[in-house]
Amino acid sequence: MLATVGEEIYKEWKEKRNNPKQVPLTVAYDMGWNKRSSGHRYDSVSGHGFILGGLTQKVLHHKCMSKQCTKCFAAKEIKETPIPHECPQNHEGSSKSMEVEGIFRIIQESFYDHRYQLAVIVSDDDSTMKSNLKHSFQQKIDNGLMSIGDWPTTEKGNKKSDNGRLPLSINEPKFLADFNHRVKVIGKCVYALASMAKRDSEVTKVMAERVKTNWGLMLKQIRHLDFKKNYEKIKNKVRAPIEHMFNNHDHCDHAWCLPLKARKENKNFEPVENNPYYEKKKNFKMYQQLCSAVERFQEDENVRECLHMFNTQINESLNMCVSRYVPKFKHFGGTMVLDSRVRCVIGVHNLGYANYYLALLDTLGCVKEIDVNNRLISNSILKIDHAKLNNKKGDRHPNINANGNMGAKLGPRDSCLKR
The whole-number pLDDT of residue 14 equals 55
Between residues 2 and 376, the one the model is more confident about: 376
The whole-number pLDDT of residue 191 equals 93
Read out DSSP for 287-335?
HHHHHHHHGGGGSHHHHHTT-BS--SHHHHHHHHHHHHHS-TTS--TTS
Q: Which of 307, 306, 317 is nearest to 59 (CA)?
A: 317
Name the helix (H) or strand (E) containing 50: strand 46-53
| Tens of pLDDT, residues 282-308 | 889 999 999 999 999 999 999 999 999
Q: pLDDT above 70 covers what percent of the chain?
A: 84
The whole-number pLDDT of residue 39 equals 61
Read out DSSP for 158-213?
PBPP----B-TTSPPPEEEE-HHHHHHHHHHHHHHHHTS-TTT----HHHHHHHHH
| Tens of pLDDT, residues 54-98 | 988 999 999 999 999 999 999 999 999 999 999 999 999 888 899
- With a cut of 70, say whether residue 389 has pLDDT above it: no
Considering the chain, what is the average pLDDT of its residues?
A: 83
Kindly report which listed range (178-182, 204-208, 382-386) carries the lowest average pLDDT score: 382-386
- With a cut of 80, say whether residue 34 has pLDDT above it: yes
- With a cut of 50, say whether residue 234 has pLDDT above it: yes
The whole-number pLDDT of residue 276 equals 85
What radius of gyration, in Å, describes the C-alpha atoms of the chain?
26
- With a cut of 60, say whether residue 10 has pLDDT above it: no
The whole-number pLDDT of residue 398 equals 45
Average pLDDT over residues 204-215: 91
In the DSSP assignment, the letter for residue 24 is: E
Between residues 248 and 386, the one the model is more confident about: 248
- With a cut of 50, say whether residue 417 has pLDDT above it: no
The whole-number pLDDT of residue 111 equals 87
- With a cut of 50, say whether residue 395 has pLDDT above it: no
The whole-number pLDDT of residue 408 equals 35
- Residue 402 pLDDT grade (very low, low, confident, very high; cuts 50, 70, 90): very low
- With a cut of 90, say whether residue 28 has pLDDT above it: yes
Average pLDDT over residues 218-235: 91
Tell whether pTM > 0.75. yes
Q: Which of 310, 320, 284, 405 is nearest to 120 (CA)?
A: 310
Between residues 223 and 395, the one the model is more confident about: 223
Residue 239 to residues 135, 198, 232, 281, 285, Cα–Cα distance (Å): 35, 26, 11, 18, 18
Beta bridge partner(s), residue 312:
none
Kindly report which listed range (35-39, 118-122, 203-207, 222-226) carries the lowest average pLDDT score: 35-39
Between residues 16 and 77, the one the model is more confident about: 77
- Residue 11 pLDDT grade (very low, low, confident, very high; cuts 50, 70, 90): low
Average pLDDT over residues 176-187: 92
Read out DSSP for 363-399?
HHTPPPPHHHHHHHHHHHHHHH-HHHHT-TT-PPPTT
- With a cut of 60, say whether residue 403 has pLDDT above it: no
- With a cut of 70, say whether residue 157 has pLDDT above it: yes
Biggest CA-to-CA distance, the chain: 86
